[in-house]
Chains A and B, each alone.
Chain A
Amino acid sequence: MERRLALMVGLALENVALVAAAVRGVCLEYLKADGVPMVELALVEACTNAVRHGARAGRAETFRLEIRVDAAALEFLVVEPGDAYDFDGRQMPAVDGDALEALPEGGFGIPLIKAVMDVAEYRRIGDVNVLRLCKRR
């Protein structure tokens, strides 16, 4: 049996914690408990990017999060009205304790998404970015 949920989210960072609560609730229902924090992390990173990209582009006031659950997996679509960006090329920043001044303070978000989800696919469709994230049940 397939179940679907869609949320329209205002482009403000304070809304991301609300999305996280919704995602956590769905995950607690359909995933093993130990998998929930990493899915929440991936969705927070994706939705934070959606807010930032969307607000920067200034073409809309919301982005959309779709959640689909079936027997095999949880699927999340983050559809946001920002400019195109390089998802596939982002790698985890290098961390070198011998180069304190060069330690990265950012750039972890997309690599974290890729690291914790079973599927993380980016597509540019028309003038929106669509990020598809899946976690097997």
Chain B
Amino acid sequence: MDLTTREEGGVLVLEPVDRRLDAHAAPAFKTQLLARIDAGSRRVLLNLHNVVFVDSSGLGVIVSALKHLGREGELKVCAPQAAVRSMFELTRLHRVIGIFETEADGLKSFAA
């Protein structure tokens, strides 16, 4: 599981390179995600534009990261493909994780 990492205006932008975030990928995804968060900003934007498939295990890792950040941190998601966005809506996690169409929109939301 590879994650690219960038810092944009105080926001840690993390981008999974792998196309599938499933139960097989989830343990390594979680390890990488939490390690990058611990090493960087408490404001995190997860750019999912490469990801074509997320299952409940992949979603669980994102929830885990949100909880890991705690109330002093923020985690948002940007650029999900339609099927990935549907996962957040079906599970109602879009109520607690901000989802933005583009990375620019996501970054802008942190400044608001």
Contacts and interface: CB of A to CB of B under 8 A. Distances in A.
A103 B96 contact: yes
Interface residues of B, number: 27
A60 interface: no
Given A95-B91, A108-B91, A112-B90, A103 B67 contact: yes
Interface in A60-94: 92-93
Interface in A3-49: 13-14, 16-17, 20, 37-38, 40-41, 44-45, 48
Contacts of B87: 41, 112
Contact of B22 (A17, A52, A101): A17
A17 B20 contact: yes
Contacts of B91: 92-93, 95, 108, 112
A14 B91 CA distance: 24
Tell me what chain B mostly uses at the interface: helix, strand, loop, or mixed: helix
Nearest to B84: A37
B56 A106 contact: yes
Q: How large is the interface on A (under 10, 10 to 19, 20 to 34, 35 or more residues)?
A: 20 to 34
Residue among A20, A48, A101 having the largest count of chain B Cβ atoms under 10 Å: A48
A101 B67 CA distance: 6
Given A37-B83, A41-B83, A101-B67, A95 B96 contact: yes
Contacts of B56: 45, 106-109, 112
Interface of B: 20, 22-24, 53, 55-57, 59-61, 63-64, 66-67, 70-71, 82-83, 86-87, 90-93, 95-96
Interface of A: 13-14, 16-17, 20, 37-38, 40-41, 44-45, 48, 51-52, 92-93, 95-97, 100-101, 103-109, 112, 115-116
10 contacts: A13-B22, A16-B23, A44-B23, A48-B22, A100-B66, A100-B96, A103-B63, A103-B66, A106-B60, A109-B55
